[in-house]
Chains A and B, each alone.
Chain A
Amino acid sequence: MSELYNFLSDINILTLLIMVPLAGSIITFLIGKNIKAAKVIPVVFSGITLLLATLMLLGFDFNLAGVNVFQYEEQYDWIQTLGVTYHLGVDGISVPMIWLTALLCFLAILFSWDVSNRTKEYMGLMLVLEVGVMGVFMSLDYFLFYIFWEVVLIPMFFLISIWGGPRREYAAIKFFIYTHIASLVMLLAIFAMYFVAGGTSFDMIFIQEASASFGLDFQVMVFLALFFGFGVKMPIVPFHTWLPDAHVEAPTAGSVLLAGLLLKMGAYGLIRVAIPTLPEGALELQWLLIAIAVLSIMYGAFASLAQKDLKKMVAFSSISHMGFVLLGFATFSAVGIAAGVFQMFAHGLITAVLFMVCGVMQHIAGTREIPKLGGMAQKMPIYATFMMIGFMASLGLPGLVGFAAELPIFFSFANLGGEWNWWIILPIASVAITAAYYIWAMQRVLFGPLTEKIDTRHLHDVSWYEAAPLAALCALIIFFGLQPGYIYDFIRPVAEALSALVPLGG
């Protein structure tokens, strides 16, 4: 226990990480009449949150690891009749996610510096979103978890429907209802686990420990419900149809948070709740998980290849990349789980760059249609650099962060052996398709003769508030690409413990 750890525990760091953005959003809503204040206050509050999250990262105790070993824990009574407590805690899986949340929210708010339409509402909602995502990654009580899970929907609904693209109304309501149904199915599964575990506590740790007595049929059924609930959020094919609409219509910062954080919530739920609580059910359904993972990977890749809209291409590539997360988890091996979590982290960084790049293009050129663009690198060299780093990282170039996640996933899947031996060809092949659509898109957008289909006289390079977040993210992509160990150190011990829960081969 370091001094920093003790200090952070004393100041209830986890509650602070929720309260600071919450306070920021309330203040923004109240005194946001002044446009300048409506921008500065959110930047300050999300900046403080990022600072706190970084401290939490530094104070983390690597000696404590295992299933149900949590740090910075806080627990208070809340609804005694139902056995609900306000229970927060983090382990090696949630810590990188929390830091990612703080980072992306800060950068997304900075990136939105030029939002002039209803600025205070926009910024306030971004901070509410941060509250919700933070809460999901640190809740250790199902009731609390569910509340944060749902809190995320409302700001995103407004972000899409007020600041979104032309089809925003349809996209917003589709996103809202689709993901709400999924949440409710998850809630039913939670009820079932709660009652079978004795009906006395909604505590995740309690239910996880009581789950040894769950019968196999029950485990399979509840796992399916949870898998649906979390899978829609990830998203998995065939429940992905809300994603392209929501992503394409959302404002850029909204897309960044949607892809960078909201999709991670689904994957996080799987690894935090579904797999450790229902290991036998998970094992029984391993074939389904792998099949859907491979399907998502392939479908997402092929769909990306066919897109004309840059942003839509990036949106479909998210489906493909989240498929890798699921594939890693589905091996139930320590390597696979660790790499899956690392892929969540990596995809968060990369996809933020990708959506920001798309947003900048829309902003500067007025269109994201790939056929209308061309030769943009001549006019926007800095922009072109960011785009190339983002695309290269996403297609898994060694030395960048995406590669450090994907390689171990292939490794763990290949190690699975048995009837899955030949399946490894499919995800490996997808890498070629991924490379194809990214490089092809880059070639058409950045290189070649300057396009004549749009007015290129007013093209200019990225503004400071766009360049700063992009530069920070690109730096991190390179840094963690070269030093993935910094993050893997957090994840590995927990992944090993989780993997030991699943009775593989027996």
Chain B
Amino acid sequence: MRMLRVGRWITAIGLVLLASVYVRALSFTPIEQSQGLAQKIFYLHVPAAIWAEMAMILVGLSSIFYLFTKDPRLDRFAASSAEVGTIFCAIVLTTGPIWGKPIWGTWWTWDARLTFTLFLFLLYVGYLLLRSAVPDPAMRARYAAVLGICGMCEVPFIHLSVYMFPTLHPMPIVLQPGRPKLPGSMLTTWLLSLGVFTLLYLGFVVQRYALSYLREQLEAVGEVGHA
């Protein structure tokens, strides 16, 4: 199927570019003064976090339109976006502690930002569990849409948590009011990384979308049971 191939190509290009972002971040970007090498993880952590939140918002938006139009393509997209979001959220939750250990001296702290990111992850897991627990496709799509919309409405609470609570987590330095507080070369690396993550998100979602389409076709002719 063409779509699957396109998705694979986008993902492959994204992975190659990801490697080059590593090279650029490690060799051609200055080392941050107070955090040293640990700061390099910022180029993975923040783009992944942005896309983990974006994926949930996209799930919510497509869910809203699904409830109006009942178009199965929107439901398929929401499911794909949620799965990819789960992965990105897992990246955030693993790179965070790796950075936190040398900088904060602890892997994990029950800080507002960290806790809310954990909730985002649990939200994704709940979403995928709910999908797997409802056998009827139309009902599954509706239920998932309801949960997706609720999930989207929780993202602002998560994103604003650093402003509302006393927190250990660094304040946003790129997505904040005013100009980014980042030297030019670091900003370039970061923007490249954000672009790569966007590409990876696209590639994963396109592949996942194509796969779920194929699965539905198979189910329609009775080749496989419900998974």
B is bound to A: no
